[in-house]
């Protein structure tokens, strides 16, 4: 058996600009064989995602929200790559995005299947999706 790699708590801790923290799962890192360089990039990617979510919270129209949502999607593909997972949008929890009105429970249940339930009135994924102005 491979010896279990020890990570420093700093290496596993993501500190967001508002001082809140999240922790990277060391068991998943070991299981996926994530390199130290990729672990650093994973930490940075969490901060970037926090910033994108902040921008979404402060966005005032569907167009801006959709532009940022696209960046979030690209970031989530990048995170999957850093973790050594296939790039697969089925595993993006898109309904967690700020201002998304799509049904969280339905989408949680469908997580991983590739099926999505969009709400018509969601400013990101609904009727306003195609360039409809405010």
If the CB atoms of residues 41 and 119 are measured against Zn ion, the closer one turns out to be: 119
Helices (H), 1-134: 9-12, 26-32, 36-58, 62-83, 104-109
Rounded-to-integer distance, Cα 42 and Cα 118, Å: 29
If the CB atoms of residues 43 and 125 are measured against Zn ion, the closer one turns out to be: 125
Residue from the set 122, 128, 130, 134 that interacts with Zn ion by CB under 5 A: 122
Closest approach, Cβ 67 to Zn ion, in A, equals 15
Does 100 participate in binding Zn ion (rule CB under 5 A)?
yes
The token pair at 92 is: 């993006």
Rounded-to-integer distance, Cα 47 and Cα 45, Å: 5
Closest approach, Cβ 42 to Zn ion, in A, equals 25
- Which residues are at the interface with Zn ion (CB under 5 A)? 100, 102, 122, 124-125
């Amino acid at each position: 058996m491979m010896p279990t790699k020890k990570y420093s708590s700093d290496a596993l801790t993501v500190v967001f600009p508002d001082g809140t923290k999240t922790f990277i799962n060391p068991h998943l890192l070991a299981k996926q064989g994530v390199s130290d360089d990729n672990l650093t990039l994973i930490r940075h990617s969490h901060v970037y995602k926090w910033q994108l979510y902040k921008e979404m919270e402060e966005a005032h129209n569907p167009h801006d929200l959709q532009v940022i949502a696209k960046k979030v999607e690209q970031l989530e593909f990048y995170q999957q790559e850093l973790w050594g997972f296939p790039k697969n949008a089925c595993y993006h929890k898109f309904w967690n995005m700020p201002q998304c009105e799509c049904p969280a429970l339905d989408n949680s249940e469908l997580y991983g299947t590739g099926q999505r339930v969009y709400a018509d009135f969601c400013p990101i994924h609904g009727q306003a999706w195609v360039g409809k102005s405010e």
